[in-house]
Amino acid sequence: MASQTSQRNVRRAVVAGALAVGALTATAAPAAADPITIPGIGTFEIPGLVLPQVPAAPGAPVAPPMNTAGERAVEAAHTKLGAPYSYGASGPDSFDCSGLVQWAYRQAGLNLPRTSYQQAAAGTLVPLSDLRIGDVISFYGGSHSGLYAGNGNVIHASTSGQPVKLAPLASMPVDEARRF
């Protein structure tokens, strides 16, 4: 009896709290109840209550899911902004240009060639007018590479004494772009 009373009180508290924040709706017809778990207390099924999908607030920006390997690679490269440049390094603590590109794509689940010249010869050639986040950009005749980060910027490890940085795409002579 005491157990049923405690369980009923917990149910009432859960319902009252959920209704107070507007996250729970009651239905008139019996429905399969989603169990509600309260950390440290337990899991409860409340017949007749259905948890709705809560939409985003009106006007709130909704970020699209990151689906492409290129988008995931850029996200990984962002975590290395400020990491030191080191010739021949491919991470995880220091990088040269192609090492950063290769490391970032490896985090996204793809294995790219190691050197900037090899990267410039791989993937699918894309017009510069159709750049997408994650496209590999070749500069200076293929001797330098970086990742297109969107909004006209590239993430790259430029040279000795300069950390991995975000820079305008137009700050270097672009040769071509490759998509993986």
Q: Is residue 136 within 8 Å of residue 123, measured between CB atoms?
A: yes
Q: Is 78 a catalytic residue?
A: no
Q: How many residues are there in the chain?
A: 180
Q: Which of 144, 153, 164, 178 is catalytic?
A: 144
Tokens (6 digits) for 25: 């709706």
Q: Is 156 a catalytic residue?
A: yes
Q: Which of 156, 157, 177, 180 is catalytic?
A: 156
List C-alpha distances in Å: 16 to 23, 34, 57: 11, 17, 23
Query: Would the CA dihedral through 165, 167, 173, 179 be positive or negative?
Result: positive
Of the candidates 148, 154, 72, the residue with the CA atom closest to the CA atom of residue 106: 72
Of the candidates 80, 85, 174, the residue with the CA atom closest to the CA atom of residue 136: 174
Side-chain-facing half-sphere of 36: CA atoms under 13 Å:
22
User: 69-78 and 97-107 helices cross at what angle (nearest 10)?
Assistant: 120
Q: Which of 36, 46, 83, 97 is catalytic?
A: 97
Q: Is residue 135 within 8 Å of residue 73, measured between CB atoms?
A: no
User: Which residues does the annotation mark as catalytic?
Assistant: 97, 144, 156
